[in-house]
């Protein structure tokens, strides 16, 4: 038998080596040719890894778009660095409508703290629209011994809250609450994913700031309850919970409430790269609204627990311009919150 080198591997699987070689050759030649001639694609860069975060929304959006327009949207996950790589990738792409981005909800806090976005301006992106607004809440468990907001205010020892990292909303928002209500919330970073929920459930920490839609099982634990609503969206099926806005005081109240409300409201944001072509932005804005108003999309999104409140691209652009204004109140107020939080 001739020495066929690496071809020995596929060939040893079959008694008919000659036929097998032909089949293998034909198959791989076809595959290689197919791989060399990819069809024209539109890319959707997603700021989370496959299967997690807003990837689910991206894939549902792509599926609906394919059904509506026959345009194939290839989902590319860039989940590293909390979505910063996705932003960098999007910022470096052409604005002709062949590349879109879907940004993680936490991107706003990161941008405002200059953790990302040093090389480009927020206002230069083409904001298409946002969907899946969050209902941000402060919840505590039975072990915390906290029943009311007065308990929270009067507690002598810090109230520990599970947080993922110092750049995440569940770390920054408790510090904002401290600033506005004079509480002693102590976010503890380093709890990722399921560990965060378990820490609250087991009583290791007193609670956490989180999205209402993601804590169903936690609220079923005896004694666990919601203490505060951080933004104005109503909580379905819940007894009235006071809002942060109704209790906040101090000179930074308006700016910080605006920040929390905007961050939660804009939800998961679709955007075009900086300097988009007007025609591309108009086309994608129209498609975005067509998709999120699609009955099948809404049914599936609802099944998966996604919020369906939408924000227009214009609203997002206006809000981001207001929040990121270097002479505006938000950045200064946030800076004071973080400085105080680090010192505390």
Partner 1 sequence: MNLVLEAIGQLLASPNTLFAIGLGTITGLLAGLTPGVSGRTGLVLVTPIAMGLGPTAGALFLIAFHSVVHTSGSIPAILLGTPTSSAEAATAIDGFAMARKGQGAQAIGASLGASAIGGLMGAVFLFGSVPVALSIISHFGTPEITALSVLGLLSISALSGGWLTAGLMVAALGILIGAVGVDPMAGAARGTFGVTALWDGVSPAALVTGLFVAPELLSRDRTEALNHVARPRLRDVLAGTRDVLAQAGLAIRSGLVGILVGIIPGLGTSVAVWMAYGHARQTHPSEIPYGEGAVAGVIAPEAANNSKEGGALVPTLFLAIPASSGMGILLACFATLGVEVGPRLLSHNPLFLFQLGWSNILANLLALPVCLLVTPLLARISQVRREQVIPLALAAALTATVLTDPSWATLGQILAFSALGILLKSANLPRAPLLLGFVLGPGLESGLMRSAMVFGWQGLMRPGVLIILALALIGILASARARLKLGTESEDAATTALPLACAVAVALCLFALFQATSLPATAAGILILAGSIGTATSLVTLWRFWPMRGAARQAKGPDLVLAGMSLGGLGLAGLIALPAAIGVLVAAATRFWAKLGWWPTFLGALACAAAAAGLEQLIR
290 CB neighbour count, 10 Å cutoff: 14
Residue 202 near partner 1 by CB under 8 A: yes
Of 61 and 191, nearer to partner 1 (C-beta) is 191
- Which among 5, 36, 8 is positioned nearest to 20, based on CA atoms? 8
Residue 88 near partner 1 by CB under 8 A: yes
DSSP E strand stretches across 141-260: 159-162, 185-188, 207-211, 225-229
Q: How far is the CB of 318 from partner 1 (least distance, A)?
A: 29
Q: Among residues 204, 294, 309, 315, which is the contact residue for partner 1, using CB under 8 A?
A: 204
> Looking up tokens 């600033």, which residue turns up?
179
Residue 186 near partner 1 by CB under 8 A: yes
Q: Among residues 94, 145, 182, 217, which is the contact residue for partner 1, using CB under 8 A?
A: 217
Report the C-alpha dihedral over residues 320, 322, 324, 325, rounded to 10 degrees. 150
Residue 262: in which H helix or E strand, if any?
Answer: helix 253-266
Residue 308 near partner 1 by CB under 8 A: no
Residue 32 near partner 1 by CB under 8 A: yes
Cite the DSSP H helix spans in 37-102.
Answer: 55-69, 84-91
Q: Among residues 167, 208, 281, 291, which is the contact residue for partner 1, using CB under 8 A?
A: 167
Q: How far is the CB of 84 from partner 1 (least distance, A)?
A: 6
Q: Among residues 166, 241, 245, 308, which is the contact residue for partner 1, using CB under 8 A?
A: 166
Cα–Cα dist 104/144, whole Å: 31
- Which among 91, 131, 50, 149 is positioned nearest to 301, based on CA atoms? 131
- Token pair recorded at residue 244: 């942060």
Residue 22 near partner 1 by CB under 8 A: no
Residue 80 near partner 1 by CB under 8 A: yes
Residue 15 near partner 1 by CB under 8 A: no
CB 206 within 8 A of CB 159: yes
CB 136 within 8 A of CB 264: yes
- Token pair recorded at residue 261: 């409300």
Residue 169: in which H helix or E strand, if any?
Answer: helix 169-181
Residue 28 near partner 1 by CB under 8 A: yes
Which residues on adjacent β-strands are paired with residue 311?
Answer: 130
Of 164 and 231, nearer to partner 1 (C-beta) is 164
Size, binding site for partner 1 by CB under 8 A: 64
Q: Among residues 67, 147, 304, 332, which is the contact residue for partner 1, using CB under 8 A?
A: 304
Q: Among residues 119, 157, 246, 303, which is the contact residue for partner 1, using CB under 8 A?
A: 303
Q: Note the residues at the interface with partner 1 (CB under 8 A).
A: 3-10, 12-13, 21, 24-25, 27-29, 31-32, 34-36, 49-52, 56, 74, 76, 80-82, 84-85, 88, 115, 160, 164-167, 186, 188-195, 197-199, 201-202, 204-205, 216-217, 220-221, 300, 303-305
């Amino acid at each position: 038998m001739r020495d066929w080198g690496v071809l020995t591997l596929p060939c040893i699987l079959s008694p008919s080596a000659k036929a097998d070689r032909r089949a293998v050759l034909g198959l791989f030649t076809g595959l290689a040719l197919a791989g060399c001639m990819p069809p024209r694609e539109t890319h959707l860069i997603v700021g989370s890894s496959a299967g997690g975060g807003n990837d689910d929304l991206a894939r549902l959006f792509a599926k609906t778009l394919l059904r509506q327009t026959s345009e194939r949207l290839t989902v590319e996950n860039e989940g590293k660095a909390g979505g910063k790589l996705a932003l960098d990738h999007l910022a470096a792409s052409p604005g002709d409508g062949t590349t879109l981005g879907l940004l993680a909800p936490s991107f706003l806090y990161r941008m405002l703290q200059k953790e990302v976005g040093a090389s480009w301006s927020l206002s230069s992106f083409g904001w298409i629209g946002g969907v899946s607004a969050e209902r941000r809440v402060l919840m505590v468990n039975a072990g915390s011994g906290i029943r009311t907001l007065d308990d929270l205010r009067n507690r002598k020892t810090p109230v520990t809250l599970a947080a993922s990292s110092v750049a995440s909303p569940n770390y920054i928002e408790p510090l904002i609450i401290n600033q506005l209500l004079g509480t002693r919330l102590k976010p503890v970073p380093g709890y990722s994913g399921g560990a965060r929920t378990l820490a609250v459930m087991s009583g290791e920490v007193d609670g956490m700031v989180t999205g209402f839609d993601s804590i169903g099982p936690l609220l079923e634990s005896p004694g666990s309850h919601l203490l505060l609503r951080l933004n104005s969206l109503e909580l379905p099926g819940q007894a009235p919970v006071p809002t942060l806005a109704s209790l906040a005081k101090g000179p930074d109240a308006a700016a910080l409430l605006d920040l929390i409300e905007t961050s939660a409201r804009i939800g998961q944001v679709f955007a075009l790269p900086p300097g988009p072509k007007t025609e591309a932005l108009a086309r994608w804005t129209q498609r975005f609204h067509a998709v999120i108003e699609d009955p099948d999309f809404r049914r599936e999104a609802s099944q998966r627990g996604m919020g369906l409140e939408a924000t227009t691209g214009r609203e997002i652009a206006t809000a981001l311009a207001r929040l990121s204004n270097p002479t505006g109140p938000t950045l200064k107020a946030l800076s004071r919150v973080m400085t105080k939080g680090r010192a505390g």
